[in-house]
A and B are shown apart, each in its own frame.
Chain A
Amino acid sequence: MVLFVGKRLLLFGFMLLGLLTIMFLITNVAPGDPAKLMAGQNATQDMVETIRREYGLDKSLPEQYAVYIGGVLRGDLGRSIVSTKPVVEELLRYFPATFELVLVAMGLGILIGVPFGMLSAVYRDSWIDHATRIFSVSGVALPAFWFGLLLQLYFAVHLEWLPVSGRLELITPPPEPVSRLYLIDSLLRGEFDTFREAFQHIILPALVLSFPCLASILRVNRAEMLEVLQSDYIVAARANGIPAFRIITVYALKNAMLPTLAIIGLRFGWMLGSTVLVETVFDWPGIGLYAVQSALYSDFKPVLGVTLLIGFCFIFINFLIDLAYGWLDPRLRTQ
């Protein structure tokens, strides 16, 4: 087990280094001179050069790379050219919002996708199977920004049940940061009104974000359940008189969850990287918006920081999924 984790961690480091290198190169071949952009239109050549020196942009590419990697190892991701603030500080502000959104969306995806996948496999070709099929096809097909707007129009504008956008009402102070996730922090501080408000704000964007992921979890789980339900050990369990409910929820589901888990891991990373549309529609102060705005200003340090963070989360989540595999399937535990 220690060996397994150790190997994984080593691999983890190499993957992040590779990711950083590729991103560093890509951002440097992208057009646009950040020093010029920052200095503004009326700046003199001297001012541009000063800024270039100050941010180390006059050094050669390998030198810049070495300086940047050295900084990353010390936990310093550089400064944003636009806001002049350290990238780490800004990530700490924007990332929890996105992370909270993705967590809730993934929770919805699993809580709805797995049981309905199971149901549509057990009642194959019944109305429930057809209904979930239509539901999941539209989940993949609907563009997030359009679906988001529809939900806003109906639930926020028409019915006025839920707020249109944001994480909290403007006048509500966010809870004291512990995890920086409002849902958790407000509960920890006992601020239940804030919790309810945060929940109302997150439900629509989370739903929009979770929809495609929910659809794929549902379909994969259905396909796996169908296959597992045909297998010999299910026949044997039935012959031995084990109740149908237990056969489906334990004997079959535990086997069917293995490929479903892989999808969950991949989708998690995918969601982290694709929140920008949802964040734009719902004015959610997250990392996607931050990354896109920085990229538009040729402000590369934040882009690199965001990439690193998402890459880290992606690899970490998949590491957790590997551990979960071991828990689900004893054959993977022993070599």
Chain B
Amino acid sequence: MSSLLDIRDYRLDFDTFDGAYKVLDGIDLSLAEGETLGVVGETGCGKSVLAKSIMGLLPSPPARVLSGSIMFEAHDLLNATAADWRAIRGQRIAMIFQDPMTFLNPVLTIGQQVCDVIAAQQGSKPKAARLDRAAIRAHATRILELVRLPDAAELLNRYPHQLSGGMRQRVLIAMALSGSPRLLIADEPTTALDVTIQAQVLALIDDLVQRLKLAVIMISHDLGAVAAVCRRIAVMYAGTVVEDAPTAELLAHPRHPYTRGLLAALPDIDGDQATLVGIAGSIPNLLTPPQGCRFHPRCPLADGRCSNEKPLLRRLSEIHRVACHHA
């Protein structure tokens, strides 16, 4: 499989008045055409920052790239121009967001917003292939139907506040898919939704991914949600990828102590455990991250080597990578 997205040794700081927050510390990840990758980790581990980096949405300053590259198809995303982004955003890479309540513009109708997205895509097409207004509206109706929204044509005239959270998330998914992208980045797409709606939205994403042969990066702190859609999972901790393996393999044979901790912390629906298990300690301050392995202050296996030497993400097998001296 050729790789669609290739992130190498990507380091990023956030400059603030207090100093530089070392938010991402050498990310290595690649994604093949049509592959589904889940990125899981605690709040603040850098997963959303990684997603926004791929879309070029980080404001700079404060964000400052220290090293590395992000290659997508033939584009070098870290050096993309405004014209490059016009051709990429929405048409090659699209993104859906965490909170559908705040990611739709409250003062514009659904139709205006969906049609605007489609209209923006016409600019990079040859003149003959461009859609006129009526065709744009027809396309908007079609993609709303694709995400199984009822009465799509009527929905175009409504405002976001008249829709439920689940419907809004579907609208956002529809907008993201309107340009037939090759890669969909889903940043916590179900976090803000009710549990039942979560399941529906996950099923919808899963179905669309299969039908449209989309590559997906789904970001979440919810292992269950990620496992439902993604074939592969990368676990992030404090700005680094600590483990990367196919979903089944990762769930069955976690090798990094942090991954094991995460899995142990999942409550068992049939179990009779009285208290929830957690990982001792809390996430480090990224202004002064721990030396060596960033997880070592919380790690049960930590020894002298862990506090001095940063473990590299090394291959245990063809499909399983882990960044731990003890794995």
Residues of A participating in the B interface, judged by any CB pair closer than 8 Å:
231-233, 235-244, 246, 250-251, 254-255, 328-331, 334
- What does the 1/0 interface line of B108-129 toward A look like (CB < 8 Å)? 1100010011001101000000
Q: A330-B109, A334-B161 are in contact. List 13 more A-B contacts (CB 8 A).
A: A235-B103, A236-B95, A237-B105, A238-B89, A239-B57, A239-B94, A240-B94, A241-B89, A243-B120, A243-B123, A250-B108, A329-B106, A330-B161
Do the beta carbons of B117 and A232 come within 8 Å of each other? no
In-complex Cβ contact of A236 among B91, B97, B120, B159 (8 A): B97
Q: Assuming the A-B contacts A240-B175, A241-B179, A331-B159, are A233 and B103 also in contact, with contact meaning beta carbons closer than 8 angstroms in the complex?
A: yes
**Chain B contacts of A235 at CB under 8 A?**
57, 97, 103
| Interface check B102, CB cutoff 8 A | yes
How many angstroms from the CA of A331 to the CA of B109 in the assembled complex?
11
Residues of B participating in the A interface, judged by any CB pair closer than 8 Å:
55, 57, 82, 85-86, 88-91, 94-95, 97, 99, 102-109, 113, 116-117, 120-121, 123, 159, 161-162, 172, 175-176, 179
Shortest Cβ distance from A258 into chain B, in angstroms? Answer: 8
Do the beta carbons of A239 and B99 come within 8 Å of each other? no
B90 and chain A: residue at smallest CB distance: A241
Do the beta carbons of B120 and A241 come within 8 Å of each other? yes
How many angstroms from the CA of A246 to the CA of B89 in the assembled complex?
15
Task: Report the 9 A-B pairs with minimum CB-CB distance, sorted nearest first.
Answer: A241-B90, A241-B89, A232-B102, A236-B103, A330-B159, A239-B95, A233-B105, A240-B117, A232-B103
**Chain B contacts of A241 at CB under 8 A?**
85-86, 88-91, 117, 120-121, 179
Shortest Cβ distance from A6 into chain B, in angstroms? Answer: 25
**Chain A contacts of B179 at CB under 8 A?**
241
In-complex Cβ contact of B105 among A238, A244, A255, A334 (8 A): A255
Do the beta carbons of A254 and B108 come within 8 Å of each other? yes
Shortest Cβ distance from A234 into chain B, in angstroms? Answer: 8
Do the beta carbons of B55 and A246 come within 8 Å of each other? no
In-complex Cβ contact of B89 among A240, A329, A330, A331 (8 A): A240
Do the beta carbons of A328 and B55 come within 8 Å of each other? no
How many angstroms from the CA of A330 to the CA of B117 in the assembled complex?
21
**Chain B contacts of A237 at CB under 8 A?**
105, 113, 116
28 A-B contact pairs sorted by A residue (CB < 8 Å):
A231-B102, A232-B97, A233-B104, A233-B106, A235-B57, A235-B103, A236-B103, A238-B57, A238-B89, A239-B89, A239-B94, A239-B176, A240-B89, A240-B94, A240-B120, A241-B90, A241-B117, A241-B120, A241-B179, A242-B120, A243-B86, A244-B82, A246-B120, A250-B108, A251-B108, A254-B108, A255-B107, A330-B159
B51 and chain A: residue at smallest CB distance: A239
**Chain A contacts of B57 at CB under 8 A?**
235, 238-239
Shortest Cβ distance from A233 into chain B, in angstroms? Answer: 4
**Chain A contacts of B107 at CB under 8 A?**
254-255, 328-330
How many angstroms from the CA of A168 to the CA of B161 in the assembled complex?
52
**Chain A contacts of B113 at CB under 8 A?**
237
**Chain B contacts of A236 at CB under 8 A?**
95, 97, 103-104, 172
**Chain A contacts of B159 at CB under 8 A?**
330-331
* Max chain B C-beta neighbours (<10 A), residue from A232, A236, A237, A250: A236
Shortest Cβ distance from A152 into chain B, in angstroms? Answer: 43
B107 and chain A: residue at smallest CB distance: A254
